[in-house]
Amino acid sequence: MDCLQAIASRRSVRKFGPQAVDEADLVRILQAGCLAPSAGNRQPWYFIVVRDAQVRRQLQAAALEQEVIGAAPVVVAVCADPELSAARYGERGRSLYCLLDCANATENMLLAAHALGYGACWVGAFQERAVAAVLALPQGFRVVALVPLGRPAESPPMPPRRRLEDVVRWERWD
């Protein structure tokens, strides 16, 4: 799929069919995450792949009971190790770059999933400590996103976007 076409046609999908996610496809999606740009190429991300129904159920509970988590055959938790970024960039790496890098990886995976015919959604509303406990993350790791994915069972319309002329300023603000 053409890159711009994938960007334009990707939607947040929250309903999934019963089909499993093909392992080779899953690896391609994870690889797309690894190809994201990161500050100083530190790549401070870890991707926890959750397929177990009971663990997905626990993640759903930690994510305000959002059904999209339990409904998907696979949930990828995108996690950051802030110290990998802090080692080079100090506080800015710890509090900002590692999160931006993981956001980049998440978007890459959403686009790759879409290009391969899967539906996915960025879920960011969760109790971070509860998710970290469910996943047994090392101390200090941040959870940036939960990404449920599977074969789409809905094709949502595009939610409205702000107009280009409302968000772009040429050269300066005024």
Ligand X SMILES: Cc1cc2nc3c(=O)[nH]c(=O)nc-3n(C[C@H](O)[C@H](O)[C@H](O)COP(=O)(O)O)c2cc1C
DSSP result, 23-45: HHHHHHHHHHHHTS--GGG---E
Cα separations in angstroms, 31 against 96, 111, 113, 117 = 23, 12, 11, 16
Check residue 66 for interaction with ligand X (CB under 6 A): yes
- Of 9, 12, 95, 127, the one binding ligand X (CB under 6 A) is 12
Check residue 9 for interaction with ligand X (CB under 6 A): no
The amino acid sitting at 73 is P
Query: According to CB under 6 A, which residues from 106 to 145 bind ligand X?
Result: 121-125
In the bound state with ligand X, the residue whose beta carbon lies nearer, of 40 and 107, is 107
- The span from the first CA to the last CA of the chain, in angstroms, equals 39
Check residue 8 for interaction with ligand X (CB under 6 A): no
The amino acid sitting at 11 is R
Q: C-beta of 88: minimal distance to ligand X in Å?
A: 25
Tell me which residues touch ligand X (CB under 6 A): 11-12, 14, 66, 68, 121-125, 159
